[in-house]
Amino acid sequence: MKYLFIFIFLLLCVRTSKTQETLTDRYCDSTNAIIRGDDYLGIYNTQTINLERNVRAIGPQKTRITIYYVQPEDSIYDDGKTVEFIPRFNVPFKIKSEYNISASQFVTAEYFLDAKGNLILYRYITQGLYTCELEKYYFNINELTRLEKQVSDSCITPEGTILDNIPQSFEKYKPQVRENSFTKDDRENANEILDNVKEYLEIYYDLFDIEQLDKD
């Protein structure tokens, strides 16, 4: 339960502090740290979708989608004659999509949501033989507030240099930070990201119905 209180506290901080981006990053990093831990049982639950198929110009592509959520206790319905326990499911706090775009290039997309289902941060990480980038889109009530593009930390050595397997030309990649002065492409990308969240939330609730097909 202590982790659940951490979630709530950090979410409140994200919505009220002037250093919103910093606290958002801390919340999301803390969320990922909890997910990586071994003692997650009882803290959160997951839905997972795995898909393997052949894609033109890519070959075999594996996609894994994971939705993380907290399930409170069941609601009790009592009409005086019968008692029913109705399952309740909170809005997911994180959605992650992982897939390959070649045999040696991988993508991870992370969506972090607040308790009302509003997107607060989207992270896009691609790494492999071709490039190694991190993009972050910050949102406040579904409005883009900040955009960052930089070299992913996973491709930087402790000495601060780019890993040997990354093209040397990528060392010249300059970090980009934009607030308010967004380009047309920035806004289109942000709208597509928000649309993805809506699609994922529909899948999330539909899967609870699908899960019951062989149980009813």
pLDDT given for residue 67 in this prediction: 96
Residue 12 lies in a domain: no
Distance in angstroms (rounded) separating the CA atoms of residues 22 and 146: 12
Return the structure tokens found at 198: 């809506």
Among 159, 112, 109, 116, smallest CA distance to 134 is for: 109
97: in domain:
yes
In a domain, 3, yes or no: no
- For residue 6, the surrounding DSSP H or E stretch is helix 2-16
152: DSSP letter: -
Sheet of strand 176-178, all strands in order from the earlier edge strand to the far edge? 45-55, 59-69, 94-102, 105-113, 119-128, 132-140, 143-151, 176-178
Cα–Cα distance for residue pair 91/154, rounded to 1 Å:
30
Whether pLDDT at 163 is above 60: no
Q: Is the pLDDT of residue 39 over 70?
A: no
Kindly state whether residue 150 falls inside one of the protein's structural domains. yes
Residues whose CB is less than 8 angstroms from the CB of residue 99 and which lie 6 or more positions away in sequence, other chains included: 61, 62, 63, 64, 106, 107
Task: Report the mean per-residue pLDDT for the chain.
Answer: 81
Which residue is associated with the tokens 């993009």?
Answer: 135
Of 141, 151, 135, nearest in space to 189 by CA: 135
61-115 per-position pLDDT tens digit? 999 999 999 887 776 766 778 777 777 788 999 999 999 988 888 899 999 999 8
Q: Is residue 70 part of a domain?
A: yes
State which residues form the domain around 140.
Answer: 45-211
Is the residue at 2 inside a domain? no
Does residue 37 fall inside a structural domain? no
| Residue 160 included in any domain | yes
Q: In the chain, how many domains are there?
A: 1
